Structure 1
Amino acid sequence: MAEKRNIFLVGPMGAGKSTIGRQLAQELHLQFFDSDQEIEKRTGADISWVFDIEGEAGFRAREESVINDLTEKQGIVLATGGGSIKSKENRNRLSARGIVVYLETSIDKQFARTQRDKRRPLLANADDPREVLEELAGERNDLYNEIADVVVQTDDQSAKVVASQIIKQLDL
């Protein structure tokens, strides 16, 4: 049997990386990982706490370590944190160790999907969350596109439909 390939999902918060990742892993009979959940498991604390205590820099260092460890596995689907692509090391590892799928979504959808979620440190204390989402998109969208092997639009589509589109585009 051919070596199992890794599929890495990148994109902004609220794009559906975790939900679509679980669906994709299930359909392809692969193991699913979420880098944020893995950080929480390793620290014994939620992401917001890590951000509060260690700041974004501390969180990003932990994220880099987790992504390095997880991308060394074979035959996984990995949902990465929205800001993970800020690190050149992460971008290089993701590109070199698997197929990168950029889950693209509009600011309107992101806002709708994240507005009641209190577990998003970059939005939690923002005066204008929509403005924060727009700023993050400006900083990150080119980086998502730069490393993506495939780009899939997630607005107004179920996780099952998006997973099917990814499978079709990757010819799996």
Structure 2
Amino acid sequence: MKIFLIGFMGCGKSTHGKKLALKLGYDFIDLDHQIERNLGTSIAAYFAEHGEQAFRKLESETLKTFNYPQNCVVATGGGAPCFFDNMDWMNANGLAVYIQMTPLALARRLEHGKEKRPLLKDLDEAGLVAFIEHKLAEREADYSRAALIANGINLTADDLRALVLSHP
């Protein structure tokens, strides 16, 4: 089974994904890290040089052509479900799980790592919350198409494992 973790940046897709994979005995794949490995540079650098549209195309191609192990947990990029037919593809090829959090909770998590995130690096605290509110409003329709939704506040690997295993 392939489990695709989706949600806004900072919701814990990579952190929870690693722990969930360990609990299930599955492989863990961080799609952003795979893209960086393939590029030989950071996503931020690629984004700055080529723009968001080029990155989203590359992200979609990587999502759909990666040679996934039979059983794996995949942490996707925050925007991955919202472009092209990526959400349809994830639902057809695995189990999509949305890790849902409020804009304020996300802003608190993202405040200290803004420099590494191209879309956030120039925002102050109020700007960060406003940006997250706006982006979440845009993305919620795509995110909510996941087969499962997990509340990201105080989420544990055991909670996530139980949620995934309860899905028919």
Asked if these proteins are the same fold (TM beyond 0.5), I'd say yes
2:5 — aligned with what? Answer: 9
2:116 — aligned with what? Answer: 119
1:63 — aligned with what? Answer: 59
Q: Secondary structure at the match of 1:81?
A: coil
Q: What's the CA shift for 1:72? A: 5.0
Q: What's the CA shift for 1:142? A: 1.5
Q: Secondary structure at the match of 2:78?
A: coil
Q: Secondary structure at the match of 1:38?
A: helix
Aligned 8 A contact 1:64 1:90 in 2: yes
Aligned 8 A contact 2:98 2:144 in 1: yes
Aligned 8 A contact 1:71 1:93 in 2: no
- 2: CA distance between counterparts of 1:71 and 1:149? 22
Q: Residue 64 of structure 2 aligns to which amino acid in structure 1? A: N
Match of 1:24 among 1, 15, 20: 20
Deviation digits for residues 41-77 of structure 1 (CA, Å, limit 9, x no counterpart)? 1111111101100100111011011111237542110
- 2: CA distance between counterparts of 1:88 and 1:58? 12
Q: Which runs of 5+ in 2 are unaligned?
A: none
Q: CA RMSD in A?
A: 1.5
2:100 — aligned with what? Answer: 104
Deviation digits for residues 98-125 of structure 1 (CA, Å, limit 9, x no counterpart)? 0111000111111011111121111112
Q: Which runs of 5+ in 1 are unaligned?
A: none
Aligned 8 A contact 1:33 1:79 in 2: yes
- 1: CA distance between counterparts of 2:84 and 2:58? 15
Match of 1:152 among 134, 150, 153: 150
- 2: CA distance between counterparts of 1:170 and 1:138? 26
Structure-2-length-normalised TM-score: 0.91
- 2:80 matches 1:84: yes
- 2: CA distance between counterparts of 1:75 and 1:26? 12
Aligned length: 163
Structure-1-length-normalised TM-score: 0.89
Q: Residue 77 of structure 2 aligns to which amino acid in structure 1? A: G
1:37 — aligned with what? Answer: 33
The percent of aligned pairs where both chains have the same amino acid is 31
